[in-house]
């Protein structure tokens, strides 16, 4: 079979474009009530009282959930630090935090009930930005976090003071990165049912087994009593990693004794999760020949009112701010900061865009100071395959020069300014995805020759069902249309750690390959017995076993094995720590490289992207078209980060909680030339030498664009997004400074 490496059509494509694909919001459960959330209007306030009497008296209202329902049971969920209550307890910590929830027969009654709940607040001082949150005397958001620092981490190598003493040139800059909304097309949806069997949840989440574990912990249940079912998911990008609204839906269903659906709109989703905003102070030193000698950085991440995944993101920034460069002396400190804003969590390449924005911008600043071409400067300092990037971690497993060379050749790089006067910019994105090794797969070859794959990977739009079907078809030697992938259901699906960290194709793909190979071996044994032939005389192809000019279908072999009573062959595959070579942290390095050519309207500051070329080191592209789509989608998201996206706060409130005021890129923002290059060396730990991808492509866009803006205007902007106004003001200040 040669299905691997081909642009096989998506197995879910027809269902999705015809509207047949079922999402969580399409599901109806008998007796289901409508759940709605009452949110705090204050960024920080003490809750003095909650009166639900009037709301409970409204016809059709079945129950109202408040803090009183958690006086004698666990109210906490979320992440490494259990600081996030299902509803606000003594204080509301951000504008939009759930304070109460209602369940009613229909939406109108639920909305009436929200308006009838009387909450008395005592407003308290609030902090929104990083600098005000860590300033002396700032109001403390959590008593356990002095200075509003919920977690800190550091990385040190060599002697930084000695390194800077060696430097001929030192640059020091501060960069800021805003809060960004995920904008998954499907906002969060959860349906919960509680009965004698336990808890059943239908959810739009990406991590069914993670949500199962959290719900079991919150409601003091065995895992076997918690069932999480995931239909198709309309995008996630990290916004649906772990429990978000599921605990509240379960608590409502438990109190009402009826199934409850909670479906958020875009504004509510923006009040549920976002990307970490960041402040990065970076100091870098180099010799006059361009050799990097020292880097010192301090990173502050705004994690919002609750830690969520903040500590993990904080630790990831330590290596991601270094870039893929050889630096002998390093000191990086990173801090996770509480503020009175919506919580931040996972978002495509956690900590990557924020830190590369600072590092890759400063690499160009330093190159300019040294009078060097930014390409030449990077080539001089790039790590080689096998060199150490992360102290004590896996050596670099990619040829960075190969990818950079392909990108710069394609864009026609002969300097940072094109003959037309357009500016050019380069940037790297190198990430160490978590990719935890814990995935199980089962492949079921049925008595009619069809095949069913059970995996816990959620189809969130990334094409996992297609690529996993390709792996099964390749290993079992069956046509692709004979393979079916069942949606995750923790009651029946084998365990998978998560859908994220660029791990699905690599880790679950390996488990699926092993499961399919196991099933193939069992079918081969049946064929050898059927033909009374040795292994080398039997060929498997197109769903048949062949030997000595004869053939028999897989289905016939299976039926005969089970005495014509039906039956199935089950293959099992496990991807665990044994598949990694030490050191396994990270399992692989994910590489993204970007180069841009653009011009700027000097009257308005508007950026016009002419060309954007990107490259991803994928090891092996199992489905090249899907790989290109992943990388181009990531780059398009990066264009949004670079040019327009920012959640804006005023007086503790989100000022743009909708898709009119919060802008995302459209077709008009596409570069005229937009190309993706796949670097394939077959050197990944996944099936057929694959590595994960989909995150690296978002990282280099913003710094590459800013570097190109500088080259064609002389204006250096250090605060994202690069809006026309910011660029116009920077050009004006630059012109005035030269006058």
pLDDT score of 583: 58
- Topology agreement, domain 277-433+586-738 and domain 436-579: yes
* Orientation of helix 246-256 relative to helix 208-218, angle to 10°: 50
Nearest to 645 by CA among 723, 701, 569, 700: 723
Contact 279, 300 (CB under 8 A): yes
Contact 249, 262 (CB under 8 A): yes
Two tokens at 63?
A: 């129950």
458's CB contacts (< 8 A; 6+ apart) are 205, 206, 207, 208, 230, 233, 236, 464, 488, 499
Q: Please report, rounded to a whole number, the percentage of residues in the chain having pLDDT higher than 90.
A: 93
Two tokens at 557?
A: 């072999």
Pairwise CA distance, residues 530 & 540, whole Å: 13
| pLDDT above 90: residue 433 | no
Give me the phi and psi of 486, to 5 degrees please: -80, 145
Measured CA distances, 589 to 17, 164, 354, 395, 720 (Å)? 35, 28, 18, 9, 26
pLDDT score of 658: 93
**Structure letter (DSSP) for residue 579:** G
Q: pLDDT tens digits for 15-25?
A: 999 999 999 99
Two tokens at 420?
A: 């037309």
Q: pLDDT tens digits for 412-430?
A: 999 999 999 999 999 999 9
Q: In terms of C-beta density within 10 A (0-12 exposed, 13-18 middle, 19 or more buried), how is residue 536 classed? A: exposed
Length of the chain, please?
A: 739
> What ranges do the domains of the chain cover?
31-124, 277-433+586-738, 436-579
Pairwise CA distance, residues 284 & 293, whole Å: 8
Q: pLDDT tens digits for 470-486?
A: 999 999 999 999 999 99
pLDDT score of 739: 44
Of the pLDDT bands very low, low, confident and very high (cuts 50, 70, 90), residue 579 is low
- 169-177, strands of its sheet edge to edge: 149-157, 329-338, 292-304, 277-286, 169-177
Residues 624-637, mean pLDDT to the nearest whole number = 97
DSSP string for 278-294:
EEEEEEEEE-TTS-EEE
- 607-617, strands of its sheet edge to edge: 423-431, 590-600, 607-617, 673-679
Measured CA distances, 177 to 602, 655, 718 (Å)? 24, 18, 9
User: If you average pLDDT over every residue of the chain, what do you get?
Assistant: 96
Pairwise CA distance, residues 708 & 717, whole Å: 11
Nearest to 469 by CA among 513, 438, 523, 507: 513
Peptide bond into 435 cis (omega under 30): no
- How do strand 649-650 and strand 607-617 relate by DSSP bridges? unpaired
Two tokens at 381?
A: 């300092």
Measured CA distances, 257 to 62, 113, 261, 307 (Å)? 9, 18, 13, 32
Nearest to 353 by CA among 285, 276, 296: 276
| pLDDT above 60: residue 582 | no
* Beta-carbon count within 10 A of 48 CB: 10
Q: pLDDT tens digits for 212-268?
A: 999 999 999 999 999 999 999 999 999 999 999 999 999 999 999 999 999 999 999
Nearest to 87 by CA among 104, 103, 105, 69: 69
For 243-270, b/e burial (b = at least 16 CB within 10 A) is bbbbbbbbbbbbbbebbbbbbbebbbbb
Residues 368-376, mean pLDDT to the nearest whole number = 98
Pairwise CA distance, residues 421 & 185, whole Å: 38
Helix, strand or coil for residue 42?
A: coil
Q: What angle do CA 324, 326, 327 make, to 5 degrees?
A: 115
Q: pLDDT tens digits for 650-703?
A: 999 999 999 999 999 999 999 999 999 999 999 999 999 999 999 999 999 999
31-124, what's its fold? Aldehyde Oxidoreductase; domain 3 (3.90.1170)
pLDDT score of 565: 87
Helix, strand or coil for residue 382?
A: strand
Contact 642, 721 (CB under 8 A): yes
Q: pLDDT tens digits for 265-316?
A: 999 999 999 999 999 999 999 999 999 999 999 999 999 999 999 999 999 9
Active centre residues (catalytic)? 695
Total H helices, total E strands in the chain? 18, 30
Q: In terms of C-beta density within 10 A (0-12 exposed, 13-18 middle, 19 or more buried), how is residue 679 classed? A: buried
Rounded-to-10 torsion of CA 255, 259, 265, 266: 80
Handedness of CA 258, 259, 264, 268 (dihedral sign): positive
Q: In the CATH scheme, what is the code of domain 436-579?
A: 3.30.365.10
Pairwise CA distance, residues 294 & 242, whole Å: 38
Q: pLDDT tens digits for 49-93?
A: 999 999 999 999 999 999 999 999 999 987 778 899 999 999 999
Two tokens at 657?
A: 């909680």
pLDDT score of 581: 56
Contact 446, 456 (CB under 8 A): no
Q: pLDDT tens digits for 379-404?
A: 999 999 999 998 888 999 999 999 99
pLDDT score of 2: 86
Q: In the chain, how long is the greatest CA-to-CA distance?
A: 93
Two tokens at 13?
A: 């494509």
Nearest to 480 by CA among 459, 453, 503: 453
Two tokens at 505?
A: 């194709």
pLDDT score of 738: 62
Q: In the CATH scheme, what is the code of domain 277-433+586-738?
A: 3.30.365.10
Residues 157-178, mean pLDDT to the nearest whole number = 98
Peptide bond into 692 cis (omega under 30): no
Residues 14-42, mean pLDDT to the nearest whole number = 97
Q: pLDDT tens digits for 224-234?
A: 999 999 999 99
* Orientation of helix 374-381 relative to helix 352-370, angle to 10°: 110
Pairwise CA distance, residues 54 & 59, whole Å: 11
Pairwise CA distance, residues 221 & 350, whole Å: 31
DSSP string for 453-493:
EE-----SSS-HHHHHHHHHHHHHT--GGGEEEEPPBTTTS
Pairwise CA distance, residues 653 & 644, whole Å: 19
Helix, strand or coil for residue 575?
A: strand
């Amino acid at each position: 079979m040669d299905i691997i490496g081909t642009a096989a059509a998506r197995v879910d494509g027809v269902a999705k474009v015809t509207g047949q694909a079922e999402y969580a919001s399409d599901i109806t459960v008998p007796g289901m009530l409508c759940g709605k959330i009452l949110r705090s209007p204050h960024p920080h306030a003490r809750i003095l009282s909650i009166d639900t009497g009037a709301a409970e008296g409204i016809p059709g209202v079945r129950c109202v959930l408040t803090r009183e329902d958690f006086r004698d049971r666990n109210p906490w969920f979320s992440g490494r630090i259990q600081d996030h209550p299902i509803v606000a307890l003594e204080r509301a910590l951000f504008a939009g935090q759930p304070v109460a929830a209602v369940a009613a027969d229909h939406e109108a009654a639920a909305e009436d009930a929200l308006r009838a709940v009387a909450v008395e607040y005592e407003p308290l001082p609030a902090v929104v930005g990083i600098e005000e949150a860590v300033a002396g005397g700032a109001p403390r958001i959590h008593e356990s976090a002095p200075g509003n620092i919920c977690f800190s981490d550091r990385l040190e190598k060599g002697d930084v003071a000695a390194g800077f003493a060696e430097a001929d040139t030192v640059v020091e800059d501060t960069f800021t990165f805003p809060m960004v909304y995920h904008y998954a097309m499907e906002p969060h949806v959860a349906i919960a049912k509680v009965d004698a069997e336990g808890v059943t949840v239908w959810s739009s989440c990406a991590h069914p087994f993670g949500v199962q574990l959290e719900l079991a912990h919150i409601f003091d249940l065995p895992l076997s009593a918690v069932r999480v079912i995931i239909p198709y998911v309309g995008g996630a990008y990290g916004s649906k990693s772990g429990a978000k609204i599921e605990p509240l839906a379960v608590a409502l269903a438990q109190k009402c004794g009826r199934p409850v659906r909670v479906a958020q709109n875009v504004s509510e989703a923006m009040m549920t999760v976002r990307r970490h905003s960041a402040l990065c102070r970076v100091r870098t030193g180099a010799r006059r020949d361009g050799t990097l000698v020292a880097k010192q950085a301090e990173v502050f991440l705004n994690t919002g009112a609750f830690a969520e995944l903040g500590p993990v993101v904080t630790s990831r920034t330590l290596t991601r701010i270094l870039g893929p460069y050889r630096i002998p002396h390093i000191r990086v400190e990173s801090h996770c900061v509480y503020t009175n804003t919506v919580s931040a969590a996972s978002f495509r390449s956690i900590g990557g865009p924020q830190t590369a924005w600072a590092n890759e911008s400063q690499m160009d600043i330093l190159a300019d100071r040294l009078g060097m071409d930014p390409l030449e400067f990077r080539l001089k300092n790039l790590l080689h395959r096998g060199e150490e990037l992360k102290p004590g971690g896996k050596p670099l497993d990619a040829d960075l020069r190969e990818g950079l060379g392909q990108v710069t050749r394609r864009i026609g790089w002969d300097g940072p300014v094109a003959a037309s006067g357009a500016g050019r910019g380069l940037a790297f994105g190198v990430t160490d995805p978590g990719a935890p090794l814990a995935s199980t797969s089962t492949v079921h070859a049925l008595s009619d020759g069809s095949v069913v794959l059970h995996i816990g990977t959620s189809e969130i739009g990334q094409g996992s069902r297609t690529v996993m079907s390709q792996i099964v078809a390749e290993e079992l030697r069956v046509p692709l249309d004979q393979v079916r992938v069942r949606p995750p259901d923790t009651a029946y699906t084998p365990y998978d750690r998560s859908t994220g960290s660029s791990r699905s194709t690599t880790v679950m793909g390996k488990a699926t390959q092993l499961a399919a190979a196991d099933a193939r071996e069992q079918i081969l044994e049946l064929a050898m017995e059927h033909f009374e032939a040795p292994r080398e005389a039997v060929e498997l192809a197109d769903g048949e076993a062949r030997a000595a000019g004869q053939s028999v279908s897989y289905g016939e072999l299976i039926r005969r094995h089970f005495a014509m009573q039906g039956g199935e062959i089950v293959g099992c595959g496990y991807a665990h720590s044994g598949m990694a070579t030490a050191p396994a942290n990270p399992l692989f390095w994910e590489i993204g490289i970007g180069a841009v050519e653009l011009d700027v309207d000097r009257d308005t500051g508007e950026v016009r992207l002419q060309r954007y070329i990107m490259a991803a080191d994928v090891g092996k592209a199992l489905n090249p078209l899907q790989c290109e789509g992943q990388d181009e989608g990531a780059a398009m998201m990066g264009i949004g980060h670079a040019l327009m996206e920012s959640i804006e706060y005023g007086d503790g409130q989100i000022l743009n909680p909708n898709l009119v005021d919060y802008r995302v890129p459209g077709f008009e923002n596409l570069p005229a030339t937009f190309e993706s290059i796949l670097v394939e060396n077959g050197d990944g730990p996944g099936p057929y030498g694959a590595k994960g991808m989909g995150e690296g492509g978002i990282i280099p866009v913003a710094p590459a664009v800013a570097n190109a803006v500088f080259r064609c205007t002389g204006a250096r902007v250090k605060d994202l997004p690069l809006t026309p106004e910011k660029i116009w003001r920077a050009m004006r200040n630059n012109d005035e400074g030269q006058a």
